[in-house]
Structure 1
Amino acid sequence: MTSVFHRAPRAKLPVAVAGEGIEIIDSKGRRYIDACGGAAVSCLGHGNQRVIDAIKKQAQQLPYAHTSFFTTDVAEALADRLVESAPDGLGHVYFTSGGSEAIEAALKLARQYFVEKGEGQRRHFIARRQSYHGNTLGALAIGGNAWRREPFLPILIEAHHVSPCFAYREQRADETDAAFAQRLADELEHKIIELGGDTVAAFVAETVVGATAGAVPPVREYFKKIRAVCDKYGVLLILDEIMSGMGRTGYLYACEEDGITPDLLTIAKGLGAGYQPIGATLVSDDIYNTIVRGSGFFQHGHTYIGHATACAGALEVQRVIEEDGLLHNVQARGEQLRALLRAHYAQHPHVGDIRGRGLFVGVELVADRTLKKPFDPAFNLHARIKREAMKHGLMVYPMGGTVDGVSGDHILLAPPFICTATQIDTIGARLVDAIHDALASMNT
């Protein structure tokens, strides 16, 4: 019996006692390659001494100062660094303790921005089906995963959803990428018109869809077309890069690859690499200046925002990524991993799609490759693969409900940025074994 209320209380979990590079070690001495970074968090692996030393130094100097009284040099330095690397126009950083908080801050900033502009009628938020933006009530309301939302629907704020840019599932066989992107942009425009063009506050989207669909990248020009629709109706664009940002796709900000600037951009996970809890919302100059010149006060806040020790850890994480040239490694190792898996599964009847950007890789399993038919959810295939992977000393991030929140299985891979070519080969080999054993177990 444990006193901890675990997220799956009936599960018997191994006890992690140490981390070394890309591995986690349990209390029995077993080593597991962390091929998912926990949940796309541990981008520098485990035990990075530079980050540990930075945290220790800050904790000895000043671990915490409440942001209603003080700012700190380390918070200012981290914000400056994030802004210097961000797309033009994102000039300010609001710190949080994690991803869900960052989304909540973005939603409230969007609403307050319009109130301060005298456009208080803008109250609607539009997101996409099969999206995931966090588990607080506001973030859950915006999210488009039916299974996660269903138990809490009576207490969620109203939100609206349009189709995702999920090429494997949504793009027609006779449809070019450009036509697909245009169709989705038109759908967003029609939804805005349906709700009332001057009543919509923001459109929210993951730049690369993470947990609920499995590293789904947008087709080319999609976000440029979405940006144009938002601009036409004065709607803010909120990009969620909590999983896909901070180098995960091979770019510090994933939207760099798409050539656009959102009005609000949320980050977390890889920002602090798991060494301390931290997240942030990057804010456009226009939104910031509107509030500063208006009420001068953002009606929001949490106790641990701008936590000095967390900022010190995150600042050193960003320095390591730059100084060690890890973004180049992310791109190279990501291409290697996808190529390895595509070669192995080129004719496999139950591997439908292998996708992603950088070291953000999704593998979708199907019962029928030709028809893209998902497995019966009763098989719980994604969970079987997780169990088999652990037996092989491999951590992966599986999820069910890939197609509609109920059906569909995928595996998400998000290895640390420090992976070598040899380690990527090992990850691929162990995953192949785990998928084989999981599929075999359904026939016994």
Structure 2
Amino acid sequence: MATAASSVLYTKIDNPPLKVVKAQGNYLQTQDGRQIFDATAGAAVASLGHNHPSIKQAMLKQLESVDYCYSPFFTTSAAETISSYLTESTGGEMPKVFIVSSGTEAVEASLKLARQYFVEKGEPQRTRFIARKQSYHGNTLGSLATGYHKGRRAIYEPILRQNVSHVSPCYAYRDQDSGESTEAYVQRLADELEAEFQAVGPDTVCAFVAETVSGTTLGCVPPVPGYFKAMKAVCDRHGALLMMDEVMSGMGRTGTLHAWQQEGVVPDLQTVAKGLGAGYAPIGALLIGKRVTNALTDGTGSFVHSQTYQGHPVACATAYAVQEVLRDERLLENVREQGEYLGDLLKARLGSHKNVGDVRGRGLLWGVEFVMDKETKRPFPASKKIAAKVHDTGLQPEHGISLIPGNGVADGTDGDIILIAPAFNVSKTDVELIVGRIEKVIHAVLGA
């Protein structure tokens, strides 16, 4: 019998992906019987693994009281509770929270709020944003224009807004000169940002936007010491906002609840999403600093933006239950402990491979960058699809591991990485299994 065509618009229309029929703990079971270790928690989302009983109970409990109401008209205990928790988690630095359904929506809201902030202040000429190359901030037209993922932007370039310019990322592996000190490298990046402010007009810029720790588009690159302090100093000099995107790196992924807490700076606007609800419900949030909160409170007293599912009660209750598990099971400590072990083991087992150029990360967010030549750091051409081959090979029954592939990290076109971002409750044994399977997959694709 012929198989009926699926109505799902797959990423590759005529190539349906594996069908998952069961998810439990760290494992995905597919329809054809494979048991795949989810070494990336989906897209760095399922931070508690799969099928956690207390999260399911929290969702059911919320459904028994309020399943949905329209947030511009009503509030709920679930929305109030998770918002208060997020404010408290910042030590009160971010007094207001806007709950949405995804990281992209949080970024869109942050761009709008940055614009409104300056209108409230009587500076309507501020319409521009400065972001970074090899960055990713979401897939709507506004967030796509802010990021710089060449592949995802390409066909949409003619309809993307033109009020965003891009500077170099903080990417020491490729961009820090031989013999250049960290301080000198940071100063060079600060000077570049200053030059961009001057080029577009310092009084036209709303905000500088950056991922605190980069995601797949650059490959889990943590900032060098002092980087964000220097970037904030440039923003402050010109009255612009600092917007930190922690959709992937936030909510515990890098070892602290907020990645900026390791940088010694407080952003004016912060986005979170993936680890907030751990995949059990679609949820993201915009955290709003005192400076912006005060301007709105003293001005119109409102935010000119809304979404149908903002503050969704079930999503909010789910997110709070996730954060309770994070606290009760002391998972931030585990992220730091197992993250250090994962990084050390990846470097020990993969660092000497002829095609592994760099292993970098923080907490349980790690990237492995592949190169043709370790000495020159020459990347594989995009046509080789190295990262995709590693990903596809990992899914085969003999390997049984899911990894996230990334490309274009070197220059926007060439350069391959894989991302490793397991659940926060992984054990030492799990970490050893992950690295062992990755090593076998790399040998299968690139040789020993």
TM tier, shorter chain? over 0.9
Secondary structure of the residue aligned to 1:198 is helix
Show CA shifts across 1:60-112 (max 9, x none): 21111110211001110100111111155211101110000000000000000
Q: Distance in 1 between matches of 2:355 and 2:446?
A: 9
Matched, 1:431 2:438: yes
Q: Distance in 2 between matches of 1:211 and 1:299?
A: 32
1:148 to 139, 144, 152: 152
Q: Distance in 1 between matches of 2:84 and 2:304?
A: 23
- Tell me what 1:13 maps to: 17
Q: Distance in 1 between matches of 2:46 and 2:368?
A: 20
Matched, 1:398 2:405: yes
Q: Distance in 2 between matches of 1:147 and 1:46?
A: 31
Matched, 1:422 2:429: yes
| Segment of structure 1 superposing worse, 314-323 or 283-292 | 283-292
Q: Is the 8 A contact 1:87 1:261 kept in 2?
A: no
Matched, 1:326 2:343: no
Q: 1:228 to 1:353 in 2, by over 3 A?
A: same
Q: Is the 8 A contact 2:276 2:323 kept in 1?
A: yes
| Segment of structure 1 superposing worse, 9-18 or 175-184 | 9-18
Any gaps of 5 or more consecutive residues in structure 2?
none
What RMSD, in angstroms, separates the aligned Cα atoms of the two structures?
A: 1.2
User: TM-score, normalised on structure 2?
Assistant: 0.97
Q: Is the 8 A contact 1:146 1:404 kept in 2?
A: no
Q: Distance in 2 between matches of 1:181 and 1:88?
A: 29
Ranges of 4+ aligned residues in structure 1 off by more than 6 Å: none
Matched, 1:182 2:208: no
1:59 to 53, 63, 74: 63
- Tell me which amino acid in the other structure corresponds to 1:98: S
Q: Distance in 1 between matches of 2:393 and 2:90?
A: 40
Q: Distance in 2 between matches of 1:178 and 1:51?
A: 45
Q: Is the 8 A contact 1:92 1:284 kept in 2?
A: yes
Q: Distance in 1 between matches of 2:286 and 2:165?
A: 22
User: How far did residue 11 of structure 1 move?
Assistant: 2.2
> For 1:23-62, what aligned pairs fall within 5 Å after superposition?
23-62=27-66
- Tell me what 2:292 maps to: 287
1:412 to 419, 431, 444: 419
> For 1:244-393, what aligned pairs fall within 5 Å after superposition?
244-391=249-396, 392-393=399-400
Q: Is the 8 A contact 1:385 1:435 kept in 2?
A: yes
Matched, 1:69 2:73: yes
Q: Is the 8 A contact 2:370 2:415 kept in 1?
A: yes
- Tell me which amino acid in the other structure corresponds to 1:28: D
| Number of equivalences | 441
Secondary structure of the residue aligned to 1:90 is coil
User: How far did residue 440 of structure 1 move?
Assistant: 4.5
Q: Is the 8 A contact 1:145 1:404 kept in 2?
A: no
Show CA shifts across 1:167-206 (max 9, x none): 1111111111111111101110111111111111100000
Secondary structure of the residue aligned to 2:202 is coil
User: TM-score, normalised on structure 1?
Assistant: 0.98
Matched, 1:91 2:95: yes
Q: Distance in 2 between matches of 1:8 and 1:86?
A: 41
